[in-house]
Chain A
Amino acid sequence: MSNPRLRTLTAPLIDENPITLQILGICSALAVTTSLATALTMSLALIAVLAGSSTAISLIRHHLPASIRLVVQITIIASLVIVADQFLRAFAFEMSQRLSIFVGLIVTNCVVLGRAESFALRNPVGASLLDAIGNGLGYSLILMLVALIREPLGSGSLFGWQVLPLASEGGWFQPLGFMLLAPSAFVLIGLLIWIIRSLRPEQVEADDYPILSSDSGEAGR
């Protein structure tokens, strides 16, 4: 942990994970984690977009007028997302069909704009790239973990390989339909956050609006 560069890369994996600590990028984490293959493709696409956008924004950070800062960032991110989507359509057609609109929705993934705003705007290119890859990996880690639970329980397979024989095909495993619906990812991510914050109590946020007991007598403290 002495090397600050290495720290930039590894901190977002658990200590500053974009999903479980900052609660960013939840929407796609719900949508694409019904199978490991889609979660992996989405993770790779997000890492590519995030690395590209953070590098580009860091490169022009000295010449970015504050008045059009957000517009410029979104333009760069959106262009990279289109490029990533086009590549998927050309080289991984079936996967792009399964991901449907969710690759395009990386534009609205708060992780990307969040890293641009809070890191790439202020830091040199090398550090921004490391930060982007670290955050991309942190996001991917959670996606893969959630998919690793949802795919076997929801459809009895891992990366499309049937590991649990389905009851409908003569086996014994009755898939949990709930695992294929978005709310199951909410529950799983919630449990992950709970586990991480139990192990790392420093991640627990202070209560903004504590509930006062009636006899405390110190309203407006």
Chain B
Amino acid sequence: MAEPRRNLWARFLALPNESLTKTLGVAFLVALVSATTVSFTAIALKPRQQAQLDAAREEQLAGMIAALPGLANILRETGAESLQQVVVDLDSGAIDPDIAAADYDFIAAQSDAALSIALPPEADIAGIGRRPNLAPVYLMRNADGLALVVLPVYGQGYQSTIRAYLALEGDLDTIAGLSIYEQGDTPGLGARIAEPEWQALWAGKSLTDAGGAIAIKVVAGAEGPNEVDAITGATYSSGGVGNLVRFWVGPMGYGPFLARLKAGEF
């Protein structure tokens, strides 16, 4: 069996390079070897990459919570266990009691057609195309009730997806902090949204204006409690962060959940 096969291989190699068989054969073999190498590497390294991503995300969340003013006190008073993790149905705004937050893969759901809905272009101000039906939320309570709500948010930057945690104070209107943990915008320009100095500008801003409408935005020369200063040279990226915050606190994002939370439902 081996002998004729080797002959076939030798005959294939002996073909003139410009023959159709050889051209197609070489193209096929190169594609096969390349695809196998890429697939094998991707699958073999996947668990390690996921572990790196999870570690980065957890570090970011821990870092942000530790950096929020007054939070160390809350933690001391109530113990770290009071950080409650829930999964929220974004359409109804209800907490889904059947799904453990640790088991829910938010990132995978973002591109899974069965677990997300397509957004109409006029509602898709974050530029994400599809939105998952379920999203995780972190709640922290102290003796006076709700102290902090942390929402994972994401949206389109200049050339990459920006992922961040948005922390709201107990009044569900004041931003306690914004922490961007993943972005790939232009280094030195758009990537400056990842700088702590800029993210610190978000703390203390209000999501809504006096009339209760969502008014938070990123503008050059910010004034008042609803505006955050854009980064010079990174207008598009910082504007993208503004848009994604507007989207996620709005009616297509966590809006319904925040409304029910404010009404004291959970």
Contact = CB atoms under 8 A, between A and B. Distances in A.
A76 B49 contact: no
A94 B13 CA distance: 45
B51 to A, nearest CB: 9
Given A34-B188, A90-B45, A79 B52 contact: no
A166 to B, nearest CB: 13
Interface stretch (A95-103, A156-164, A188-196, A198-206): A95-103
Interface string A56-81: 00001011111110011001101100
A189 B213 CA distance: 52
Contacts of A31: 187
A194 B13 CA distance: 49
A49 interface: no
B23 A83 contact: no
Given A65-B23, A82-B41, A101 B184 contact: yes
A93 B23 contact: no
Contact of B30 (A76, A87, A98, A180): A76
Contacts of B41: 82-83, 86-87
Contacts of B26: 60, 63-65, 68, 72
Interface in B178-206: 182, 184-185, 187-189, 191
Contacts of A98: 187
B53 interface: yes
B17 A93 contact: no
Contacts of A180: 188
A87 B49 CA distance: 9
Contacts of A182: 188
Given A87-B45, A89-B52, A75 B30 contact: yes
Contacts, number: 82
A82 B191 CA distance: 23
A64 B27 contact: no
Which applies to chain A's interface (DSSP): helix, strand, loop or mixed? helix
A86 B47 CA distance: 11
A132 B27 CA distance: 24
B73 interface: no
Nearest to B160: A100
Contact of B18 (A67, A75, A91, A94): A67
B29 to A, nearest CB: 9
B48 interface: yes
B27 A68 contact: yes
B33 to A, nearest CB: 8
Nearest to A83: B41
Contacts of B55: 93
A64 B102 CA distance: 51
Nearest to B187: A34
Q: Which of A62, A82, A90, A94 has the most chain B CB within a 10 Å cutoff?
A: A90
A86 B48 CA distance: 10
Contacts of A38: 187
B117 interface: no
Contact of A63 (B13, B34, B45, B48): B13
B7 interface: no
A145 interface: no
Interface in B23-42: 23, 26-27, 30-31, 34-35, 37-38, 41-42
B52 A67 contact: no
Contacts of B191: 100
A72 B33 CA distance: 11
5 contacts: A72-B26, A76-B34, A86-B41, A90-B49, A93-B53
Interface of A: 31-32, 34, 38, 60, 62-68, 71-72, 75-76, 78-79, 82-83, 86-87, 89-91, 93-94, 97-98, 100-101, 180-182
Given A65-B22, A91-B48, A94-B56, 18 more contacts: A31-B187, A60-B26, A62-B17, A67-B23, A68-B26, A72-B27, A79-B37, A79-B38, A82-B38, A83-B37, A87-B41, A87-B45, A90-B48, A90-B52, A97-B56, A97-B182, A97-B184, A181-B188
